[in-house]
Copies of this chain bind each other. A is one copy, B any other.
């Protein structure tokens, strides 16, 4: 990941509500979550939310798709992964200090018995 992309991703996450939004999307997993559901969960005005979604999207941290009347937003784990990799590399002075961790979707859609 390039520095410019890292700065963009950092800026996207460096805001209270937006970090909450992203965390919620991460928890929602790869299937994503409708904008309205996020709005309700975090008690945010829908237009405010659109603003934040845009930021996340510009930073490559989220994707959208339409599904009926709803817009479904999903986290882009690949970017998050690259960001953590960038930080890990750059917090250790050029020489690697640890292999980058893997950021994967929350959990498989498997339903746990019991």
B-binding residues in A (CB < 8 A): 3-4, 6-7, 10-11, 13-16, 19, 23, 26-27, 29, 75, 77, 80-81, 83-84, 87-88, 90-95, 97-107
B81:A84 contact, CB within 8 angstroms: no
A97:B93 contact, CB within 8 angstroms: no
Interface contacts beyond A11-B11, A27-B94, A93-B107: sample of 10 additional A-B pairs, CB < 8 Å, sorted by A:
A10-B13, A26-B91, A83-B87, A88-B101, A92-B103, A92-B106, A95-B106, A97-B101, A97-B104, A98-B103
Chain B residues with CB under 8 Å of A94's CB are 27, 106
Bound together, the chains give a CA A6 to CA B16 distance in angstroms of 9
Bound together, the chains give a CA A88 to CA B83 distance in angstroms of 10
Bound together, the chains give a CA A98 to CA B14 distance in angstroms of 23
Tell me the number of copies of this protein: 2
B102:A97 contact, CB within 8 angstroms: yes
Q: What's the nearest-Cβ distance from chain B to residue A19, in Å? A: 6
